[in-house]
Amino acid sequence: MLKPTDKQFVVEIPEIGQFVFRYPTLKDELDIDTTTSTILVENPNPSIGAKNIAIMAATIEIMATSTPDDYRIDNIFSFADLEKVYSEYLNMVLQFRKQPEKIRSD
């Protein structure tokens, strides 16, 4: 089990700023999906691009505990910037999940 200090990580993204993220719980995964659906509620047939934007924005909204002051989905004009932040978050989460499990010594 993670220690409280291990449940967060900091990502510094050049020209965008510093983000602090939590590692996702199963509940967080559900919340991300719900938020994604809420973003797309008025778009029953979203394009792949719109769905990707919604997933990335929802993930950052749910998982970031700290962001640069001006970093909000309604203030982001570049898909590339959104993707940079999301990719950094995802890379850290995937590294965390790949940690070897402890071997039981019964």
> What are 22-32's pLDDT values in tens digits?
999 999 999 99
User: Total structural domains in the chain?
Assistant: 1
Within-domain flag for 2: no
Within-domain flag for 10: no
- The strand pair at 64-66 and 17-22 is best described as antiparallel
What is the model's pLDDT at position 73? 79
What is the model's pLDDT at position 37? 96
- The strand pair at 64-66 and 8-13 is best described as unpaired
What is the model's pLDDT at position 106? 47
Within-domain flag for 53: yes
Within-domain flag for 6: no
What is the span of the domain harbouring residue 86?
Answer: 24-97
40 band by pLDDT with thresholds 50, 70 and 90? very high
- The strand pair at 8-13 and 17-22 is best described as antiparallel
Report residue 19 as tokens: 């983000």
Question: Residue 19 and residue 72: Cα distance in Å, rounded?
Answer: 12
Within-domain flag for 40: yes
More confident residue, 102 or 54: 54
Question: Residue 36 and residue 65: Cα distance in Å, rounded?
Answer: 18
More confident residue, 104 or 47: 47
What is the model's pLDDT at position 50? 95
Taking the alpha carbons of 71, 60, 22, 9 in that order, is the dihedral positive or negative?
Answer: negative
Within-domain flag for 48: yes
pLDDT for 55-106, tens place per residue?
999 999 999 999 998 888 788 888 999 999 999 999 998 887 665 555 444 4
- Position of tokens 């973003």? 39
pLDDT at 15 over 70: yes
Report residue 18 as tokens: 């510093």
Within-domain flag for 18: no
pLDDT at 16 over 60: yes
Within-domain flag for 92: yes
